[in-house]
Chain A
Amino acid sequence: MIGEPQELPTLDIFDPAGNTHFGNLVTEAGDTWQHTTRRRGGNWSAAFELTRNRDRLIELFYNGLNYLVTRRLFSQDVWSGFIAEMTLTYKRATYKRSILDTAWRINAQRSAEPFANAVRVKYQRTFDSLVVNPSCESAAWAAYNGATVTRDATYVTDGSWGCKVVVADTAIRGATIQAAIAVAAGRKYDVTLDVNVTAGSWRISCNRADTDESLCFWSSRGATGILPVKMEIPETNQYAGNVDFRITAEAAAGTLYADNAIFREQTQNDADTGWLLDAASIAQYGRIENIVQMQEMSAINALALANQILRTTAWPRTQLPGRIDFGGAAATDIKLHINILGLIHSYRQLTTLQGASTKSAVISALAPLSSRPNKIAIMPNTEAYSVVQSAGTASKIWTVMDDVARSGDVASDYWRCGVFGRSFVYEPVSPAIEYALQNGELQRVDKSRVNPWLVQPGLIALADLPEAVKSATGRTLDVPNRALVDEVSYTRGRLTLTLA
């Protein structure tokens, strides 16, 4: 039971310019409002429903995403957030506009990509093979030193043709798969070839065009049969210039079939397209970042994918229902369900902040990174804190803040950190008991009325339990009948406290 106040906080929706296009919705929202406030996070999430005035609801549905929602009791902000998702039920169908869920997937195996107007793709960069005629589809490879080289379909692993190389004597003869492949110094190249040796001993090599020195080679050492060739020019290679990719007999007559020659730079990990931005969307919604991790792909494809993700997720789109049921009573009503996230969720970007500092300095560096809170109050906390970022990655701002808040300090284990109303607050939880649970009811310690809209995370005395002795540690929360309210959830007529 809670003492339900008669006066309800005003409910206003402001557009980004600060105008109240949708003011005074208290009566319309009725009893549908519910919200949650957390010690770490502040105003966290809320929801309410509107059912009156079709034209106004559709206008709100079309335009309202990211609009500021405030509930105010007199001049105190009791809850603020932005519209993150709206579900409109109208004439049987349900439509959704969301900046949480775009419903758009890169492929069936992935979950839906989040709404984002700053997109970068991290991937394993693959390179094209430098061999222009890898499978003899257009012509046989060139003969080297008078061997017999023909297109042949006896052994084919790629396309319709392979190559047959026949050497009848012990001279060094063979085929040039491709001459003059340009390589750079300090890069690793993977070279592969599928061969089937029926007789003789063979050498596959990549030799410098100027000195004929092998940068890498493979030998069959007299073995016959299907032999996969896999070799690499190591990263330590200092030669920059042309290379001849070639098959030669190792001073023995013989026949070799070969196909599918590949000569390419080795796949690079941690390739990155960099940020691609939609400036108009950022102006409208603030910067919302999405880093997409992909497997092997080429640079061109990665950039195209990043652009496609940006185009597809930078603006909210009306989602049709998964299905529409016809039948039952005719639906003439309209209902708009509005999901709201607290302003702490506007700290969506990533931060590269790292290094040792104090806890309040870390919070002070991060708190101004969202323009949505209109006030910032940060209590000094001189305890040292080091933000550790893994190489090449960044953490979300709120993740870092939450970790700082979670760690508290020596003097006060519990700190509040988050956006309460429109104020960003980082401060220790007041060590004095604020609430009392007595006869199953929530009261202030001075027995004055608790307005459920004003209940904040804080210390509570469990007064229905017998008064306990002081704690040995001197800490308030080590007294058995004291507790910390970590989360407050409110719906009309019901207040739920979650204890830490």
Chain B
Amino acid sequence: MAYDTRLVERADLGADVAALILTNFTDGFALLPGGLHQTVSRDDDADVDEALTLRVRGAQPDPDVPVGPDDLATRLQTFDRYVQAINDSRFNPAYGVWLRTQAGETYTRQAFITDIPKTWRVPIHDTPGAVGGTIKAFEFSLKRRPLWESSDIITDVLDWPYGGPGSTYSWGYASLMGGRNGDAPARIARLILTPGNLRRLWIGFDNSLAGPTDNYMIRTWTNHNGTTAVYPGGGSNYDNEDYAQTNFTDGSDLLRAAGGFVDPANPPAGGQYQVLARLSLSDGSTQALVRTALGYTGDDVTTLPFTQRFLVSSANPMFYPLMIANLPPVKSSSGNVFSNLRLFINAQRIAGAGQLRIDHAIFVPMRKGYIFLEGLSGNQVVVQNLPSGDWTAHEISGGAVTRAVAVSGWGGIPTGSDDHVYAVGAGDRGTDSQITDTMTCTIYNYARWRTMRGAQGNQE
């Protein structure tokens, strides 16, 4: 049951380089009683302010000689080394200073220091304190990341497409992850991705008591608006080897709509999702404007608010982001509140004589954490959620960065027991999608806590 607070200098994902213990005068500093009232934030992202009151006692190289101002200076010089490291980390947040603490808990926890005040005051000109080599109350404040994290890495390896029921390959199945402790999503310190043929990809993390199923996908469609959705044999490049198809027949301006259920037995929970659909046209000279709406069985599709239209003009199947869906908060006595939820895809042909093909739709969860990458070239990609909270992504070849890549990243990997934490992934080639494409990624992440860690290890 250790009570310990220290500054630790280290690289993210690396070992400790140096430490300054701020308790028990081990390194000359001691937290005063009431000297740290820990700040807790409900926000996962905004930095929090922390204030420490310390007593400082000069170093005593010779026990027979009383400590004096020079000995005190030695202590402050050690402290100021960490100040310099914090300054430097504002330009390179992959290396910096953590506030590591243990309030009597079994395990330590640490939070990255993002900033310190421009100035602070130290009563070194007080006598007899300075003459005696002590500062009674050294007040210091800092900004740190809001969540405490473990200093030990969890490593996960994920593969897509995950071979789910009914299909050898299909984008959108959830890939299982080991359970992890903590009470806030784990930080994805580094994700190393081998994208293969993929040029853009979506990964969303979620947890569920039910474990992974295909409840993030829509694989069958029904017709709406007086049209007949048909289900021809789609060939091996379509999920379940089939797709729904519009029946534009008489002119180019008729609206056609198809609706699909998320698996009624295992509908998604309320929350926020990036909805994708794998769409193609029967020939390359046809163009269709497509829009989408969420509704329920029995809804008149014409009365739903639809999203903005987008153009589909390629005969290659591809993923199209349809909407960011917010499933409303609803409480039902019998569970499965969203078993009647439908995604409507509404299309209008504006050129050509072909048909729109709808393969399957995916609800990529956004609630806990997500990553979106595009413009990849096939090289290995390293995505980092830096200790400062910034996200970066770089392509790497032969161990050297070849270019910076734009990344949309947020949150992390949710907590949960084994088999109940998973990631939904989808990817395509940017101008084409082959269902046999695969990708592999290794994620190095840190479990995180909001207030105390206690006796929790990293993983369950």
Contact = CB atoms under 8 A, between A and B. Distances in A.
B84 interface: no
Nearest to B319: A75
Contacts of B276: 75
A444 B309 contact: no
Interface stretch (A4-12, A127-135, A348-356): A4-12
A27 B348 contact: no
Interface stretch (B103-111, B170-178, B401-409): B401-409
Q: Which of A14, A26, A433 has the most CB of B within 10 A?
A: A26
A23 interface: yes
Interface string B402-435: 0111111111000000000000000000000000
Contact of A451 (B326, B329, B403): B326
B163 interface: no
Contacts of A43: none
B220 interface: no
Q: Which interface residue of A75, A450, A454 has the most chain B CB atoms within 10 A?
A: A75
A48 to B, nearest CB: 16
Nearest to A456: B308
Interface in A1-21: 6-10, 12, 14, 18-21
A379 B390 contact: no
Nearest to A454: B324
A432 B306 contact: yes
Contacts, number: 126
Contacts of B305: 430, 432-434, 445, 458-459
Nearest to B370: A74
A130 B386 CA distance: 78
A221 interface: no
Among A7, A8, A14, the one with the most B-chain Cβ atoms within 10 Å of its Cβ is A7
Contacts of A376: 311
A410 to B, nearest CB: 15
Nearest to A432: B305
B264 to A, nearest CB: 19
A72 B408 contact: yes
Interface stretch (A59-67, A255-263, A272-280, A420-428): A420-428
B306 A73 contact: no
A448 B366 CA distance: 15
Interface residues of B, number: 52
A14 B405 CA distance: 10
Contacts of A230: none
Given A10-B408, A432-B304, A18 B375 contact: yes
Contact of A24 (B303, B329, B390): B390
Contact of A423 (B274, B294, B310, B391): B310
Contacts of B311: 375-377
Contacts of A378: 289, 350
B240 interface: no
A444 B289 CA distance: 24
Contacts of B309: 377, 379, 425, 427
A373 to B, nearest CB: 11
A10 B310 contact: no
Contacts of A23: 392, 404, 406-407
What band does the interface of chain A fall in when counting residues whose beta carbon is under 8 Å from B? 35 or more
A109 to B, nearest CB: 46
Nearest to B90: A52
A295 interface: no
A380 B253 contact: yes
A82 B375 CA distance: 20
Interface string B236-273: 00000000000000000100000000000000000010
Contact of A10 (B202, B306, B391): B391
A447 B392 CA distance: 35
Contacts of A27: 388-390
A449 interface: yes
A6 B202 contact: no
Contacts of A448: 326-329
Interface in A428-464: 430, 432-434, 444-451, 454, 456, 458-459
Given A420-B308, A456-B308, A75 B202 contact: yes
Interface in B348-374: 348, 350, 364, 366, 370, 372, 374
A380 B324 contact: no
Contact of A20 (B45, B274, B390, B404): B404
B306 A430 contact: yes
Contacts of A425: 308-309
A72 B391 CA distance: 13
Given A377-B309, A379-B289, A20 B406 contact: yes
A20 B404 CA distance: 6
A138 interface: no
A76 interface: yes
Interface in A55-85: 70, 72-76
B91 interface: yes
A374 B45 CA distance: 32
Contacts of B232: none
Contact of A73 (B200, B294, B408): B408
A236 interface: no
Contacts of A423: 308, 310
Contacts of B374: 75
A224 to B, nearest CB: 82
24 contacts: A6-B44, A7-B45, A7-B366, A8-B410, A10-B391, A10-B406, A10-B409, A14-B406, A20-B406, A24-B390, A26-B391, A53-B91, A73-B324, A74-B202, A74-B204, A74-B274, A74-B408, A75-B200, A75-B321, A377-B289, A427-B308, A427-B309, A447-B329, A448-B329
Interface of A: 6-10, 12, 14, 18-21, 23-24, 26-27, 52-53, 70, 72-76, 375-380, 416, 420, 423, 425, 427, 430, 432-434, 444-451, 454, 456, 458-459
Given A52-B90, A432-B302, A432-B306, 17 more contacts: A8-B45, A20-B405, A23-B392, A53-B90, A72-B372, A74-B321, A74-B366, A75-B408, A375-B311, A380-B350, A430-B305, A433-B305, A434-B305, A444-B328, A446-B294, A447-B328, A451-B324
Nearest 5 A/B pairs, CB to CB? A448-B328, A434-B305, A448-B326, A432-B305, A74-B274
